[in-house]
Amino acid sequence: MGTVAQASVDCTESTDTGYVSGDPFAITLVVADGSPVEINTANAYALMQTQAASDGVTITIVSGFRTWAEQDYLYGCYVNCNCNGCNLAAPPGYSNHESGHALDLNTADAGVLSWLNAHGSAFGFSRTVPSEDWHWEWWGGGPGGGPCSGGSGGSGGAPPGGCAPSPVAGAENEVFRDMLPGSLGHDEAILLEQAGITTGCSADPPLFCPGCDASRAQIVSFLIRAEGLPLVAPAVPTFSDVPLSSPYYATVETAAAQGITQGCGNGQFCPDAAVTRGQTAAFLRRTRGWPLGTPAQPSFSDVPASHPFFGDVEAILEHCVTTGCSATEYCPERPVTRAEAAVFVARAYDLGNINSCIGAGGAAGSGGSGGGPPNQGAGAPGGGGHAGHGEDFPPDGGPAGISDANAANGGCACRAAGRAEDGSPVALLVGLAVGATLARSRRVRRSLRALGRHNRANDR
Chain-centre distance for alpha carbon 241: 18
pLDDT in tens, 89-121: 888 888 889 988 899 999 999 999 999 999 998
Q: 375-410: buried (b, 16+ CB within 10 Å) or exposed (e) per residue?
A: bbbbbbbbbbbbbeeebbebeeeeeeebbebbeeee
The DSSP code for 28 is: E
pLDDT of residue 71: 92
Overall pTM surpassing 0.85 (yes/no): no
Topology, domain 2-138 = Muramoyl-pentapeptide Carboxypeptidase; domain 2 (3.30.1380)
CA dist 298 and 135 (Å) reads: 42
Q: What does the pLDDT read at residue 451?
A: 31
What pLDDT is recorded for position 163?
Answer: 63
CA distance 336 to 344: 10
Q: Are the CB atoms for 455 and 217 separated by under 8 Å?
A: no
Q: Report the pLDDT averaged over residues 6-29.
A: 81
Least confident of 4-8, 168-172, 236-240: 4-8
Q: Which long-range CB contacts under 8 A does 265-268 form with residues at least 24 apart? A: 265/388, 265/389, 265/390, 265/391, 267/239, 267/240, 268/239, 268/240, 268/241
Give the model's pLDDT for residue 33.
94
3: CB partners within 8 A, 6+ apart: none
Mean pLDDT score of the chain, rounded to an integer?
76
Whole-number Å distance between alpha carbons of 304 and 301: 6
pLDDT greater than 60 at residue 334: yes
Backbone angles phi, psi at 71, to 5 degrees: -70, -35
DSSP letters for 196-223: TS---SEETTEE--TTSBPBHHHHHHHH
| % of residues, the chain, pLDDT over 90 | 47
For the chain, the structural domain boundaries read 2-138, 186-458
Between CA 251 and CA 436 the distance in angstroms is 32
